[in-house]
Structure formats: structure tokens, C-alpha cells
Structure 1
Amino acid sequence: MLLLELVETTQTVASTRSRLAKVDALAHLLRRLDPAEIPTAVGLLSAKPRQGRVGVGWSTVAAAKEEPAAKPSLTVADLDAGLDRLLATAGTGSGAERAATLRKLMAAATAPEQSFVTGVLLGELRTGALEGVLTDAVARASGRPAGAVRRAAMLSGDLGGTAMLALTGTEAELDAVGLVVGRPVLPMLAATAASPSAAVEATGEASVEHKLDGARIQVHRAGDDVSIFTRNLADVTHRLPEVVQVVRSLPVRDVILDGETLALDEEGVPRPFQETMSRFGADAVRETVLHPWFFDVLHIDGQDLLDEPLSVRIEVLERIAPAHRIPGEVTADPAVAERVSQDALAAGHEGVVVKAVESTYAAGRRGSNWVKVKPVHTYDLVVLACEWGSGRRTGMLSNLHLGALDPTGEFGEPGGYVMVGKTFKGLTDELLRWQTERFQELEVRRTAGTVWTEPVTVVEIAIDGVQQSPRYPGGIALRFARVKRYREDKAPADADTIQTLRALLRP
């Protein structure tokens, strides 16, 4: 298929707010793809190319700019092969080879294709094809039940592979996709609530559990083989030998566990999040020890537990890993939920997560069955730009432009980010030095006072609330925003939404 056909489809999808129209356009495209093109096309449509980031920055793209081709000739396969070459090219003399590969791609591309390729390379694709819409389009194009496609994608963690199976395989093959020990699944996510009382009143009888200030992990064990994955499904087994040792000691043969890992001090109090993430992100073993805590079990010794109620999964977890289960209490009493929350805060944790005891494990979904509660409003936002500082911050990038995810395109482009405020508060000298270097590496353009950056950096921001404001497209502005930390463990797609922030407005 010509790349231009895919590009024009993304433009159609981005230009409409109708979910049905998006699904129809995407399904029409998917039906026309050659089988070998399906995984590549799905990756491009969902703004997640198969190769990931290939290490090409703005300056390299700008230097490789060529006159657009008059007629389309570049295919989806051509772009895929070009990205493979860019990813594989490294070492002495690689710069010239990468530049030549990029110039060849750009010379073969029409003007719309050049813009699309630039977005692919810089991680700036805004196709309007969120994964939920694209999943429905796969179901429409293949004639398979949407629930079957959605479950296969969640359990395989691979929408491209699921699309290939749905479009070229049988219904039985699609239905056969299940939980596999050693293959990560998308983690279940939590919504937010203002208080533990409100969360319990909304969910009914629930497990009110301490919310740890750590890094999310999913652990798979098959015999003596242990694999550990991040919330983004990256394999980090080699970084966490202490967690591997703990899991091997459990009285099971095969198991899949969901939990957190964090560093503790000598008295068992959580150490700062930055220390956990510094150790979690290190390829070399360091002195800091990370302790695993588990809050769910998805499989044990040949039995899948995804569709069992949480009450059953808790019983299994208590039986196999009591010393490593996250503290919590099952209750329907709001007063008890408040007490557990105070206990969690006193122990140095973030707050609580309230989980309906009858809920199943909905991989990859954020719903009302899991609700997180923090005493301070903190939200994960995306850095859109950064202004140069003044005074003692002269020469350093300081004031952050913050964006919230707009999944539906209610205030802009679907899947884009809506600016909701700025802040320079809470930044230590170390963070100032780090972000000055980092954001220039991610630079897409600049003026005399501001550097615009690729929207890929997630930062946790504490606020006192929001207020109505005509200054920003979403109609709100953050009140007293300050930086808590950067969340290198989170992808921009995990950012909080503009709708979540707008819900803080007083009626």
C-alpha cells in the first residue's frame, strides 16, 4: 500500500470527532492492507511504530529535508524498512549513513508524507487513532466480535499482532489468545477520587490498600525462570535480582503477580521516589535494594485468575506471598477506609487504592472498580515547552509549560495535549540542570525565551485545584502548581486527562 493512503486516512480520522466515522475510515484502510503490512500500519496508526524511537532528533531531520516528491511512490513497507535501517545503523561513520537513509526517505515522500515521517521520527504523531478506536476498527474490518479483539489485544500486549490474527486468522485462533506466563499483559489502571469515603461509597465493599510510592512491576514465573516487566511492558529482569530471588522462594511453580517495588530505609520507611527510580532504571546492580510488594495475582499453577473476583485473588495472594502482600483491609465502612488511609500516610505512603472485591482484572483499562486516593491533588502531566530562567536561574530552562491528555479531541486534536498552566516551583538545582540538558535534546523549535519539546516527558504536579480560565484551550488553569518529580516510568499516554482536571471545577 502507498504510504499516502495511510497518511490521508490519519488526516480523515483527525478531522472528525465522530467515533463511528473514525472507526469506519480505519476499517476501510485495514481491509486493503497486505497481510505483511498490518502490524506496521497498526503501529503507525496508533502512533507506536514497531521500531520505537530510532534515535533521530530534530536537527538531523531538518538537515535531511528534501524537496517533496511530485507523485507518491513510497509504500508502508518502504517506511518500515527505512526505520529498520535507521535503528540498526550505529558506530563510527553511522551519522553519514543515517543521514543518507533519511534523505532517501524524504526525497521519495510527498509533502504530506514528509510531515508524517517527521512525526514518526520525532515521536510527534497525532493521528487521532487512539488504541480503543483502532481496536474497534480491527473488529469492524475483520468481522470479529469487538470483545474478542479487545481481550486478545490486552492479553497479548500487541495490537498489531492481534490485528494480523483477526484479519487473516480464524475466529477460533483469535479466541485462543490467552494469558501466557512469560508474556506481559497490559496492567489494570485506577481512576481517582477525592477521599477514601467517597471511593468506598461508590464501589461498595472494597479492599482498601496502601498506595505505595514505587515502580509498578508485573512478575512472571515459570519454574525457575522469572521475568519482570514495567507498566509499559519493558523487560527489566536483569535490573532486579533481589525481586527474582523473592519470587523464586514462593511456594508455587507458575505464577503472574502484579505489584510495586520500592526502596526502604533501615526502619522500613519508604525512601524518596527518586532513589527507587534511580535504582530501578540502572542496568548495573547498585547498593540500594528494592523490595517487592504484590497486590494481585493473575495466574497460578495452570489456573488463570483474571476472571475471578478480587476476593478470590486476594485469598490466593495471602496464601502464597503473605510477607510481600501490600497492606490493606476489606470493608464497606467509609470510616474504616479513612483509617486505613491515615495508616498508609503515617507509614510514608501516598494514600490508598480502593478496589471493589467483586471486580475482575480488566487488563489495560481504567475504570471505577479501582480508585486511587491521595491527600494532595497530584496529576501526571506532559511537558510541552520550557522557558529560560532569569536571576539565579539564568542559563537554565526553568518555567514548564504543562499539558493534559485530550483523548477525545474535545479541546483540540484527539490524542493531543491541552496546555493547562505553567510552573517553576518545586525545582531543585539538580532538576534544573537535568531538564536544561534533557529538553534541549528533545527540542523541536525555539524562540528567544522558550524551547518547545517533544511531548514525551511526564512530570507529576501537585496542585491546590483548578480555576476557570480563558487563557488556555481547556478553559481551566492550575492553582499553585509545583513539581513533585519526573515520572520516567510513565509514558505520555498515561498522563491525566483534561476531563479529569475539569472535574475539579466547583459546580
Structure 2
Amino acid sequence: MLFSDFCKILDKIEKTTKRLEKTDYFVELIDFIKNSGKPENLKQVSQITIGRVFAEFENKEIGIGPNLLLEAVKTTGIPEKDLKSKIKETGDIGTAVENLSSNIKQVSLFSQALTLEEVYSTLKKLSEIEGNSSQKKKTRIISNLLILADPVESRYISRLILEDMRIGMNIPTILASFSNYFNVNKESIEKIYAVTNDIGLLGEKLISGSDIENDPELKLKVFRPIKPMLAQLTPSIEDAMIETKMPQFETKYDGARVQVHKSNGNVKIYSRRLENITNSVPELVEEIKKLDIDNIILEGECVAMDLDSGKPRPFQDILRRFRRKYNIDKMAEKIALRIYFFDVLYYSRGLIDTPLKTRREILEKLFGTNNWDSELEKIKKEIFSNKMLFSSFKLNSDDPNLVKEFFNWSLSIGHEGIMIKNPDAPYTPGSRVKTMYKVKPTLENLDVVVTRAKIGMGKRKDWYGSYELSVKDNDSNLHVIGNVGSGLTEDDLEKLTKIVNEIKIEDLGEEVILEPKIVLEVTYEEIQTSEKYEMGYALRFPRVVQIREDKSINDINTLDDVKKIYEIERNRK
């Protein structure tokens, strides 16, 4: 398939703001591929359309920032001054390169047109280049690709390199297109995607005529991590109890979500971003290897513990462990980790369609019970033990007063609150469900992405000291909700400034526009209505709690979350 043919349809998709039209254009693209005699192209097309060359579960990126892309573009013959001016004018490197493409060095009239396969394989190779001269090699490869490209191709190649296609396409829209073209139930396709995290594989199977409901490659598999199921906010324990009837309550731990996979004695541990953190937590790996279980996927919360107080250490200590690449054993001596398991998703077969109560029974056979109402003395002893693997603390009750006791006890041992779960519910990967709720004593902190940064004043004049914060809507469009500067230490400012310089895509003088890659957890006094921002809401007195290096733009809060918190707080007043 010629890359130019692909780009023509991408251009159509970009020019419409209507979701149904975008869906129809992608259906047109599927039909073009089907009739071209190269059905395998749907795999590459599906991934590229959302700005990826790797499947989501692989947790790999091309790894090229705006600065390196700019260097590569300059070597094609486009003057740096013109390039920066055009980026400032258009707000997009891809459009700037397209508009200035007449400056790109000409190649032989007999050179072959770029193919989809060529662009796809070239960009995958970029991620593999390492070593002292890696930057030069990457610059040369990108430059050669742009020299061979026509103007529209150069727009999309530049954007794909930064993994941001800017055409308003996302996974749900592609899944809707699959459903329409292949006449398959949309819910079935969404469910299959949720257990594969591989839109390319799903497209490849559909176009080849596979029975996707029964294809073993499209089932939940060990060592192919899935996105976690997410909880809803709830105004009160009583409200959640009404929603879930006879619920299961668990401590909401102050830690980091992990997924543990084990098969044939091999163990891998993944973060909530599906990042493989196995090498950073060797003591946990060894403990899991000792267990007489295999062919299993477990989910839990990894907590950094202060064994003297029996309380969790600061969340940043977990990140220090997860990010550590050297002297890991010394760090393990300083920061003890444990996992509280609360779910089993696979045990020789997929379990996500079975009720939580059944999954919990399996979990307790493996790790024992931790029933708060009947085993509290045992739990108190284990909190101070060197034991690393536990089942989560649990309560089954319809007594609101007992539940409040459990809630307060969970807070007293340093954790965040409680989870409220429907015991009859299945596990729905990657979705915020109405069968699981979280209750915390204070306003829910928000995870937001930084979209702009501004140079600081006074003591902060050498750093970017103020950051524009955004949340996303259901179509993954970003909406500004405020600016923050408080809560950041000098170390934080230094770290953020370094990252900003690597991911800035437009320089406006004292302010820069960024790729949406920095995630901050912020607290605030309240959410208020505001005409200042398009979304209609703003954070009052936001303050940074921490830089969330364990999260990506996929994990940030949504506009719906903001509305929900606003309504909850308004009803409390």
C-alpha cells in the first residue's frame, strides 16, 4: 500500500469534526485495504492512525522528542528560522514541515514512492537504535524519510514520529469502524480489545476472517498485561451500599497498582501503565517464585512499608523502587515492599467473566483470608511482619456503622480509605465501572496533564515555574482546568524544566506549548464553575502533590470526573 493513499484518507479524517464521518472514512480505508490484496496492512494502519507503531501492551515508544525531530527537519534543507516561525504560526510541527516542504532537497525523479510498510518498519527501527552515535543515526533516518515524502506525507510522518497524529481518532472510533465493516457486535469487539491491548492484532484477525470469539490469540494471556478496571467516585458509603446491595469492602491502599504474571516458573510484574518493572523488585519476584502456583495473573497494590510503624511510606518511595536500574539490592534494603492482592484474573483459564466472589475465593485459597471483622488480631500482627505477599483486608457486611469502623481503621493504619465492590460483578479491563467505588475522607485528588509551561519569577527565574493543567473528555480531547505553581520543590522544578525542554513543541517566549506527557497529581480547595475555561470548570487554589511518573495521558482524570466531584461537593454544602 502506498503511504500517500493512506495519507489521503487521514487528511479526510482530520478535516471533519464529526465522529460518525471519521468512522465512515476509516471504514473506507478498511475497504481499500481489503480490495488491495494486502490485508495485513490493516494491522499497521490501525496502529498508525492512533499514533503508534507498537501495541499498547508492549509499552514501547518510538522515543523521538520534538528537539530531535527539529534537528532532522533542518537537515532536509528547511531553514531553522522559517521552521520555528511556521510552527509558531500553525502550532504543529507536521503542518509546518508540510508548508515548507518546497525547501526540502530534491531526490531523483526515478525514486520510488514511499510504502506503508517502509514507513512503519523504519519508525519501529528508530526505537532500537542505541549507543554513542544514536542521535546522528536517528536524525539521518528521519531526514531520509522526509526527503522521500510528498508534502502531505511529511505532515503525517512528522506527527507519527512524535506519536500524536492530531486527527481526532481514538480506539473507540476504530472499534466502531471494525464493528460496522465486519458486522460484528461492538461490545464483543470492545471486550476482545480490552484483553489484548493490541488494535493492530484485532484488525489483522478481523480482516483475515478469524472467528474472533474463539481465537486463542485474542484471549487473555499470561505475559500480555491488561489495563486495570477503575472505580467510580461515590458521595458516601451509604450511597455505594445502595448501588451494590451486599457489597465487599476492602482497604484502599496507599500504593501503586501492579499486575503479577507467572508461567512455567517465570515471573513478570507490570505497573498500571503496563511497564515491565520486574527487574526493579527482585525480592517480590523471588517470593512469587516460591509460591506453589503457576499459569496465573494476579492484581494487587504494591506498598512501600515502614515496618517499625506498620504504615506505608510516601508514594515517591515506590516510584524510587520502580525506576531504580542500579544498586537495586541496596535500595531494597532501605525501602521494603509488599503486595496486597485483591484479584485473580487468570488461573489456568481466564477468570474475568466470573463473579468477584468466585475470584476472591480462589485468591483466599492462595493467600489466606484477611477478614477484618473476625481476624483483626492476626491482621495487626501481619502489618508489622516481614511478610511480602497478602490478600487485601476485607469486610462483608450490610451494617453501615461497621463499615464506617472499617473505613476509619483503614485510615488509622495510614491508607487512603476503602473500596466498595459488587461481589457479583465481572472484571472489566480498562473501564471505570459502576460495580466498584472508592471512598476517601477528603476531596479526590486529580491526575492532570501539563499542556503549557511558563518561566518562573524571582527565585524560580531559572526554571519553568507555572504549569497549565488539562483533563480529557470521552474523545480524548484536552480541556484546560487551571494553572499551578505551588507544591513544587526546587528538585521538582529542576526535573520538570529538563522534561519541558525535551517535549516542548512551540516556544512563545516566556511560555511553551508541550506534548501532553507530564502527569501531575494535584489537590485543590474546590472545583468551581468558571467562564475562563471552555470546559466551564476551574480548580481553586490547586497545589501539586507529586509528579506521577507512573502515569500517562491515558490515566488522567476526565471531564466527567470533574463534573462528578463538583456535584458531590455541591450536594455536601
- The answer to whether the superposition gives a TM-score over 0.5 is yes
Work out the number of aligned pairs and report it. 500
After TM superposition, give the deviation of residue 385 of structure 1 in Å. Answer: 1.4
Residues 333-348 of structure 1 mapped to structure 2, 5 A cutoff: 333-348=399-414
Kindly name which structure, 1 or 2, has the bigger radius of gyration based on alpha carbons.
Answer: 2
Q: Between the two proteins, what is the percent identity of the paired residues?
A: 27
After TM superposition, give the deviation of residue 328 of structure 1 in Å. Answer: 2.4
After TM superposition, give the deviation of residue 170 of structure 1 in Å. Answer: 2.1
| Number of the residue aligned with 1:39 | 43
CA distance in 2 between counterparts of 1:336 and 1:30 reads 56
| Number of the residue aligned with 2:69 | 61
1:224 aligns with 2:265: yes
- In structure 1, give the amino acid aligned to 2:417: G
Residues 148-167 of structure 1 mapped to structure 2, 5 A cutoff: 148-167=188-207
CA distance in 2 between counterparts of 1:483 and 1:303 reads 42
Q: How large is the Cα RMSD of the aligned pairs?
A: 2.4
CA distance in 1 between counterparts of 2:266 and 2:288 reads 10
Does the Cα contact within 8 Å between 1:166 and 1:174 map onto a contact in 2?
Answer: no
Does the Cα contact within 8 Å between 2:50 and 2:164 map onto a contact in 1?
Answer: no
Residues 372 and 127 of structure 1, relative CA distance in 2, 3 Å threshold: farther
Residues 149-228 of structure 1 mapped to structure 2, 5 A cutoff: 149-171=189-211, 175-176=215-216, 177-228=218-269
Residues 58 and 250 of structure 1, relative CA distance in 2, 3 Å threshold: same
- In structure 2, give the amino acid aligned to 1:313: R
- In structure 2, give the amino acid aligned to 1:77: E
> Alpha-carbon deviations, 1:259-280, whole Å to 9, x = none?
1112101222100000111101
> Alpha-carbon deviations, 1:18-64, whole Å to 9, x = none?
44333222222123233332222111122332284333222332233
What SS does the corresponding residue of 1:191 show, helix, strand or coil?
strand
After TM superposition, give the deviation of residue 171 of structure 1 in Å. Answer: 1.5
In structure 1, list runs of 5 or more residues that go unmatched. 409-414
- In structure 1, give the amino acid aligned to 2:44: T
Residues 436 and 334 of structure 1, relative CA distance in 2, 3 Å threshold: same
The answer to which of 463-472 and 416-425 deviates more is 463-472
| Number of the residue aligned with 1:108 | 148
Residues 102 and 371 of structure 1, relative CA distance in 2, 3 Å threshold: same
Does the Cα contact within 8 Å between 1:309 and 1:360 map onto a contact in 2?
Answer: yes
CA distance in 2 between counterparts of 1:479 and 1:78 reads 50
1:260 aligns with 2:301: yes
Q: Which has the higher helix share?
A: 2
CA distance in 1 between counterparts of 2:17 and 2:404 reads 41
| Number of the residue aligned with 1:269 | 311
CA distance in 1 between counterparts of 2:406 and 2:219 reads 36
After TM superposition, give the deviation of residue 68 of structure 1 in Å. Answer: 2.6
CA distance in 1 between counterparts of 2:204 and 2:289 reads 36
> Which of residues 364, 386, 389 in structure 2 aligns to 1:318?
364
After TM superposition, give the deviation of residue 14 of structure 1 in Å. Answer: 4.7
The answer to which of 311-320 and 174-183 deviates more is 174-183
What SS does the corresponding residue of 1:35 show, helix, strand or coil?
coil
1:349 aligns with 2:415: yes
CA distance in 2 between counterparts of 1:118 and 1:347 reads 50
Residues 424-463 of structure 1 mapped to structure 2, 5 A cutoff: 424-463=485-524
| Number of the residue aligned with 1:401 | 468
CA distance in 2 between counterparts of 1:431 and 1:342 reads 33
Does the Cα contact within 8 Å between 1:149 and 1:166 map onto a contact in 2?
Answer: no
> Alpha-carbon deviations, 1:445-475, whole Å to 9, x = none?
2222212221011111112321121211211
After TM superposition, give the deviation of residue 173 of structure 1 in Å. Answer: 7.0
Does the Cα contact within 8 Å between 1:387 and 1:397 map onto a contact in 2?
Answer: yes
What SS does the corresponding residue of 1:353 show, helix, strand or coil?
strand
- In structure 2, give the amino acid aligned to 1:360: P
After TM superposition, give the deviation of residue 404 of structure 1 in Å. Answer: 0.5
Does the Cα contact within 8 Å between 2:7 and 2:156 map onto a contact in 1?
Answer: yes
CA distance in 1 between counterparts of 2:5 and 2:409 reads 57
1:309 aligns with 2:313: no
TM value normalised by structure 1: 0.91
The answer to which of 313-322 and 1-10 deviates more is 1-10
The answer to which of 141-150 and 264-273 deviates more is 141-150
| Number of the residue aligned with 1:294 | 341
